[in-house]
Each structure stands twice: as structure tokens, then as C-alpha cells.
Structure 1
Amino acid sequence: MNFYKTTRWEEKRKRILKRDTHLCQECKRYGKRREGTTVHHVHPLRERPDLRLTTWNLISLCLTCHGKMHNRDTDELTALGEQWRERINRLRGDEHGIH
């Protein structure tokens, strides 16, 4: 089954959007108020499936910003996606073993 179709994901997605007051967290960094409609895995699902439902690994983004997080040809994180990963890692601290 596709993970993104599961009830667990749908419920988690709703909670993350609510936590972020339905605002894009990337736009918010620049003082913009744009609706967050997508929930992004900071540590990509394919790399860290163990973090698929971990609250601190999820952020709300608008479609435009979500598109800027991944290279659509390779599905690798872009420089912006890597910046978010580094930011989250700093907030979490090295004691969690997430690099």
C-alpha cells in the first residue's frame, strides 16, 4: 500500500498542518503568509523510513516551496532541502545520531 494513502499518514498530515497553522514554513521565514498545503519530510522518506511519522521531521510547505526542496529529475534534496535538514539536525542536536 502507498504510505501516503494510509490513515496514519492522513492523520499525521492533518496534525502537522494544524501545528504549523496551515502556513508554509519556508515562506514564513521571509515574512510571507502563504498557505501550507503539503507536508514535507525533512529527512526524505526513502532515506529514513523510520522517521516517516516523526513530528520534528515534518514541515508544512506551499506547493512552490515543496518543489524547491527536491530535484524533480533525481528526487535528491536540493541545496534548500539540505539547508532544512541541517537546520533540523542543529535543533535536534548530535546526541540523536541524525546527520
Structure 2
Amino acid sequence: IESVLGKGTTVAANFVLSHIDRAPLGDLQGTITALIRLNPDRDFLFRHSIDQRSVTVDTRVLRNVLGEIALNTPEVMSWISEYIDEQEKTLSGLLPGKTELL
């Protein structure tokens, strides 16, 4: 955990996926969307990487694209949730395709 006053806090975690004692990551999609929904004015940068592939969701980019539309509207939250789910499945090899930086 790194924190800089007035700039933000970074929380990073690295796990060995094949380690026998590694707990399941859980509901990343639900966790990230809940953080955004409950804190729509905060900036979040979520990045999940496996090997050389990664999924990124940056609320600053989303706000820039959406303009006046709030992040915590049901339609936007639904899209973010579906996007994270699809990208996580692609990252895990469950869906073909590539992940894209958002």
C-alpha cells in the first residue's frame, strides 16, 4: 500500500495462481462495480494482469467518454459490470479474443 497526500492510494497485490494456498480471488466484478457505484466521484484504476495480458478499467477515462452522464447510473453500471465480466473471462482463457485498455 502506497499513499500520497492529495494524490491517492495505490493498493497492489501479487499472487502465484498455481500456489496451493492461494485463496480464490472472489467476485472482482462485483467488488469493482460496488466501489464505483458507492463512490462515483472517486478515481479508480483497476488492473488485473495474468502473464502479459491485462484488463484495465479507469474511471477517469470513463468520465471523459461519458461526459455529463454519471458513472453510477444503472445503465453505465450494468455496462461496466458486463465489460469487467467479459474481460475477466477473456483474461482467464474462457473466451477467445483480446483484452483492450479502457
Greater fraction strand: 2
How does the TM-score come out when normalised to structure 2?
Answer: 0.29
Greater fraction helix: 1
How does the TM-score come out when normalised to structure 1?
Answer: 0.30
Larger gyration radius, structure 1 or structure 2:
2
